[in-house]
Amino acid sequence: MRFVIHWTESLLSSAAKKTNSYEFNIFAQYLLTKVTTDNLSVLTFKGLPKVYKLLWNLQPIIPSHSWIMAGASKVADYLLQPVLQLYSWIVNSTIEVINTVSGSRANRNKETYIVTGDEQSFYTNVPIAETISLIKKIVIEEMEYEPWKVSLIEICLVAVMNNNCFQYRDEFYRQINGIAMGTSVAPVFANIYAVQFEQDLDEWWEKGLLSYVCYIDNIKFIFEGSQKQLSSFLSTQHFGKLKVSWDVRSAWEETPFLDCPFFFTSKPGIMELQSKLFRKKMNKHQYIPWFSAHLESVKRSFVKAELTRYMIVSSQKSFFEESKEMFFMNLHRRGYPADKLVEYGTLVDYKSRSSVLHESGKKRLEKQTLLLLPSSYNQMWNILNLKDVCDIMLKIWVHDKVEIPDSLKGPIIKSLRHSENLYDKVTQWKVETLQAMNHENHGGSKKCSFEDAFCLVGCRVRIEALRPRHS
């Protein structure tokens, strides 16, 4: 880690002297404050089993939020997000998919197919040097970025993509192939690499292609034509080193994409694209139980967010009502009172669906800057309305003719961390003690003794007696 810190500091310092730009120096100083061992942890390689698939496999996960390259990754991601606006078929969420494909229609008298594609092992097959060169070309020729921005993007990408270090068990590794997983800039980096292979779509819009969207390594399009014409289109889709597996289904079949299945329903002469909520067969619906210590406002907000999601993905009111009924049945099993469910049922009205979709499209175009307000949680945040406080501050500043930065003109979001206390400190000490005992006993092959564990549990009982109780 010390080597990486020294290397990054040298890279930024030499680039700052070479660029000689005020803006670059501002970003460089910000990044240098992030290149430190304070409050940073070594990344750990983890695997999430995909138990819902017929053949189990692991989804590799490397959480990089506390890695020393996190600051550089966030800066690169911020500077590259506008590049995605050049490609209308790139989407970032389900709501963007709905906005892009809603209203799609097909001729009832013609063959129509819904096709999805999965780019296998996407991240680990993206060439780093080639993609950085491609990004430099795009930001210079198409985005017309200033030289200092181009230099900053290149330095951040080189630092992030070539220094993804992590721990697996007792060994340390550095990723040498593909994109650094679990880092902020990874999705936009991957999208820009793949988009170079999708530039020839224009000629197919008049040859049967009705819609086409891409979400990182997932592709979905609707094709109207014969199987031979569809095969001809698929034969033209090459993605460099990436291998794509295609799933072709009839327009009448439900085709899952992200978190909703798409299918066509027939009307006289035309077929209209529909969508509804997708449920995995093994979903156990383990929602927050009513008896949990969460505030009721948290539970209420969670229910409203879920209902809003159901409303967005449901192209018909009947689909929304069906999903809502199933959701409330599962909540009732988790202890939610019937009277509260009746109250929560009024939080979202399906009639507002079109306006919600319209507003979400406007937000993307306006590119609002979100400002995070970091703080520690305390009970004051339950009664303090941050928007009212900011409105009062803005009025005072406007009255005093103070120039207001763009970051304060958009939404402000609270980012509250868990406050430290004695109980947490003792729990962490117990974990570290048990791990040390396991390691000492034949290199971790033997668990700690019952007597050792009993002593620690006894310590917990004494600490529990000191822990404050909430009414």
Question: In the prediction, which pLDDT does 326 show?
Answer: 94
Question: In the prediction, which pLDDT does 233 show?
Answer: 87
**What distances in angstroms separate CA 189 from CA 6, 65, 159, 194, one per listed residue?**
25, 17, 14, 9
Strand 43-44 with 165-168, pairing: parallel
Which pair of structure tokens corresponds to residue 254?
């439900």
Question: In the prediction, which pLDDT does 83 show?
Answer: 93
pLDDT tens for each residue of the chain, 471 residues long: 565 666 666 766 666 666 667 667 776 776 666 666 654 667 888 888 877 667 777 777 787 777 777 778 888 998 999 998 898 889 888 888 898 888 788 887 888 999 999 888 888 889 999 999 999 999 999 999 988 889 889 988 988 888 888 888 888 888 888 887 778 899 999 999 988 888 777 778 888 899 999 988 899 999 999 989 999 888 888 888 888 889 999 988 899 998 889 999 876 667 889 999 988 877 888 898 999 888 888 899 999 999 999 999 999 999 999 999 999 999 999 999 999 999 999 999 999 998 888 887 655 545 555 677 777 777 777 777 778 888 888 888 888 888 877 767 777 777 777 777 787 788 888 888 877 777 666 555 455 554 555 555 554 444 444 445 554
Question: In the prediction, which pLDDT does 423 show?
Answer: 79
Question: In the prediction, which pLDDT does 467 show?
Answer: 47
Residue with tokens 């620690």: 456
Residue with tokens 């669906």: 353
Question: In the prediction, which pLDDT does 55 show?
Answer: 73
**What distances in angstroms separate CA 188 from CA 28, 126, 217, 366, one per listed residue?**
22, 12, 11, 19
Residue with tokens 């590119």: 367
pTM of the full structure: 0.72
> What does the alpha-carbon distance between residue 48 and residue 432 come to, in Å, rounded to a whole number?
24
> What does the alpha-carbon distance between residue 271 and residue 265 come to, in Å, rounded to a whole number?
5
**Cα distance between the two ends of the chain:** 46
Reduce the secondary structure of the chain to three states and give it as a string: CHHHHHHHHHHHHHHHHHHCCHHHHHHHHHHHHHCCCCCCCCEECEEEECCCCCCCCEEEECCCCCCCCHHHHHHHHHHHHHHHHHCCCECCCHHHHHHHHCCCEEECCCCEEEEEEEEECCHHHCCHHHHHHHHHHHHHHCCCCCHHHHHHHHHHHHHHHCCCEEEECCEEEECCCCCCCCCCCHHHHHHHHHHCCCHHHHHHCCCCEEEEEEECCEEEEEEECCHHHHHHHHHCCCECCEEEEEEEEECCCCEEECCEEEEEEEECCEEEEEECCCCCCCCCCCCCCCCCCCCHHHHHHHHHHHHHHHHHHCCCHHHHHHHHHHHHHHHHHCCCCHHHHHHHCCCCCHHHHHHHHHHHHHHHHHCCCCEEEEEECCHHHHCCCHHHHHHHHHHHHHHCCCCCCHHHCCCEEEEEECCCCHHHHHHHHHHHHHHHHHHHCCCCCCCCCHHHHHHHHHHHHHHHHHCCCCC
Question: In the prediction, which pLDDT does 101 show?
Answer: 86
Question: In the prediction, which pLDDT does 67 show?
Answer: 75
